[in-house]
Amino acid sequence: MEEINNVEVVPCTESDYLKPFRVHYNQVSSVSVLIFNTTSHCFILVKQFRPAVYMSEWERIKTQTPQSTEKAEKEAAEAPAQEGQATSEDDSSSQWPPASVGVTYELCAGLVDKPQLSLEEIARQEVLEECGYDVPVSKLKRITSYRSGVGVTGSKQTMFYAEVSDDNCVGAGGGEPCEGELIEVVKVPLHEAMTFAYNERIPKTMGVIFSFIWFHNNMSPKYKISTNV
Amino acid sequence: MEEINNVEVVPCTESDYLKPFRVHYNQVSSVSVLIFNTTSHCFILVKQFRPAVYMSEWERIKTQTPQSTEKAEKEAAEAPAQEGQATSEDDSSSQWPPASVGVTYELCAGLVDKPQLSLEEIARQEVLEECGYDVPVSKLKRITSYRSGVGVTGSKQTMFYAEVSDDNCVGAGGGEPCEGELIEVVKVPLHEAMTFAYNERIPKTMGVIFSFIWFHNNMSPKYKISTNV
């Protein structure tokens, strides 16, 4: 790696893999939060419709052979996460897959778009807006940070852990409709967490999988829970 | 989530967060591989210069106050991963940060761009091209799959585990220069893996962190190694 010394940013004129495009916003960094409710012993996740995931599935389905499409549709119909499945009367299902294929389970998360706030303060706001829990900044524990989307955004993500109780629940969450967020708050019981993490039929981000395992390794003894890996 | 039923793809005309842009390629899915060398008891990672990470750091640094920039530069100079650091004689360092800020540690990985090959076969090819190990497809163990870049690409990623030995090493790796890949193969000893995973000074993807912990939980007993979390 030592040979890379003089870096300049020049127009991207030719590449077999990335075609030039302009991104009109800066996604410098983001935060995500693993929320554990100590009253109900549940993890609090958000379930979101993601247009990019939907388009990715649409691309995949339309390039598949009829046999594999059938298999994928059968799998989708059986998957516990696939609610809102189009019925057989829905003519559009032959053109567009059901919205459910674009739904993913994710950690509560948000962009770092307020320079005057600390990462912890931004994480606190996201927990309140998306999940309805009012948790003091002091209860946010930093888990780690990493690079995400190294091929596209390269942004730095910082992950936190927040313990909440039913007493901290002050609203329904669901995000800010004016910001285009349509979020469903879902609970995953602690004793189901590891099965959930490794169930590939449940569409989720790596942040969910990693953070459940982090909890299993670092927090489970505190809650005297035996979870099967 | 049940209320999302009729999904149509229409032009994106207004959003506070995403401004419309056109992406001229499909990144439907990708594979990544945690490689463990059973001869040297090391993980095999790749270290790559990532323009997106570089630009993200450049954005971050230019919006920082002089004090925090100084701090970041001091940290970068001290970080073990920051090789190729610009020297003080390099006048361009005031404008552009050193290339090292765009370098990340990642799992061996690649796009699923050959429809006639299975995911395992594509993973096998990446291990050979990027890391120089010729490993039979039968040695590739599926760890799990997940969604990545849910806000941008939404692609499905499948992660594999491959055990190799020095006998499987048939080349230097380094990727395909004609595909624009400039990859350095690096080894992380097993006994340092958990420290590496949680060292935030070492820029890396979540795939590295997760897979090291997966190994710790699932494979370490086999190698009779005590690793500290």
DSSP string, B147-214: EE-TTTT-EEEEEEEEEE-GGGB-S-----GGGT--EEEEEEEGGGHHHHHH-TTS-BBHHHHHHHHH
Element (H, E) at A162: strand A155-164
| A209 or B9, higher pLDDT | A209
Nearest of A220, A207, A161, A195 to residue A48 by alpha carbon: A207
Task: Answer whether B51 sits within 8 Å of A115, measured CB to CB.
Answer: no
Q: Which two tokens stand for residue A161?
A: 């852990």
**What value of ipTM does the predicted structure carry?**
0.77
Q: Please answer whether residues A30 and A109 qualify as being in contact, where contact means their C-beta atoms are separated by less than 8 angstroms.
A: yes
Q: Please answer whether residues A26 and A162 qualify as being in contact, where contact means their C-beta atoms are separated by less than 8 angstroms.
A: no
Task: Answer whether A149 sits within 8 Å of B153, measured CB to CB.
Answer: yes
For the cut 90, the answer to whether the pLDDT of residue A83 exceeds it is no
- The per-residue pLDDT for B2 is 40
Cβ–Cβ contacts within 10 Å for residue A45, how many?
Answer: 28
What's the rounded Cα separation, in Å, for the pair B222 and B229? 17
For the cut 80, the answer to whether the pLDDT of residue B73 exceeds it is no
Average pLDDT, chain A: 79
Residues recorded for chain A: 229
For the cut 60, the answer to whether the pLDDT of residue A75 exceeds it is no
DSSP state, residue A85: P
For the cut 90, the answer to whether the pLDDT of residue B115 exceeds it is no
Instruction: Kindly list the domain boundaries of chain A, sorted by start residue.
Output: 29-63+94-223
A-chain residue closest to B179, CA distance:
A16
Q: Please answer whether residues B69 and B59 qualify as being in contact, where contact means their C-beta atoms are separated by less than 8 angstroms.
A: no
Nearest of B212, B220, B210 to residue A197 by alpha carbon: B210
When mean pLDDT is compared over A69-73, A191-195, B15-19, B113-117, the highest value belongs to: A191-195
Residue % of chain B over a pLDDT of 70: 70
* DSSP string of A182-219, one letter each residue: -EEEEEEEGGGHHHHHH-TTS-BBHHHHHHHHHHHHHT
Cβ–Cβ contacts within 10 Å for residue B131, how many?
Answer: 27
What's the rounded Cα separation, in Å, for the pair B38 and B64? 45
Q: Please answer whether residues B160 and B34 qualify as being in contact, where contact means their C-beta atoms are separated by less than 8 angstroms.
A: yes
When mean pLDDT is compared over A74-78, B52-56, B195-199, the highest value belongs to: B195-199
What is the CATH code for B29-78+94-222?
3.90.79.10
Which residue among A5, A96, A144 places its CB closest to the CB of B8? A96
Q: Chain B partners of A148 at a C-beta cutoff of 8 Å? A: 148-149, 205-206
What is the topology classification, in CATH, of domain A29-63+94-223? Nucleoside Triphosphate Pyrophosphohydrolase (3.90.79)
Task: Answer whether B149 sits within 8 Å of A146, measured CB to CB.
Answer: no
Task: Answer whether B153 sits within 8 Å of A56, measured CB to CB.
Answer: yes
Q: Give tens-digit pLDDT for A12-29.
A: 555 555 544 444 344 578
- The per-residue pLDDT for B198 is 97
Task: Answer whether B7 sits within 8 Å of A98, measured CB to CB.
Answer: yes
Q: Residue A88: pLDDT band by 50, 70, 90 thresholds?
A: very low
For the cut 70, the answer to whether the pLDDT of residue A162 exceeds it is yes
Residue % of chain A over a pLDDT of 70: 70
- The per-residue pLDDT for B121 is 97
When mean pLDDT is compared over A9-13, A59-63, B182-186, the highest value belongs to: B182-186
Q: Please answer whether residues A37 and A30 qualify as being in contact, where contact means their C-beta atoms are separated by less than 8 angstroms.
A: no
Q: Please answer whether residues A48 and A103 qualify as being in contact, where contact means their C-beta atoms are separated by less than 8 angstroms.
A: yes
For the cut 60, the answer to whether the pLDDT of residue B11 exceeds it is no
Of the residues B65, B152, B176, B198, the best mutation for testing chain A's interface (the one with the most A CB atoms within 10 Å of its CB) is B152
For the cut 50, the answer to whether the pLDDT of residue A82 exceeds it is no
| A44 or A59, higher pLDDT | A44
A-B C-beta contacts closer than 8 Å: 233
Average pLDDT, chain B: 79
Task: Answer whether B206 sits within 8 Å of A157, measured CB to CB.
Answer: yes
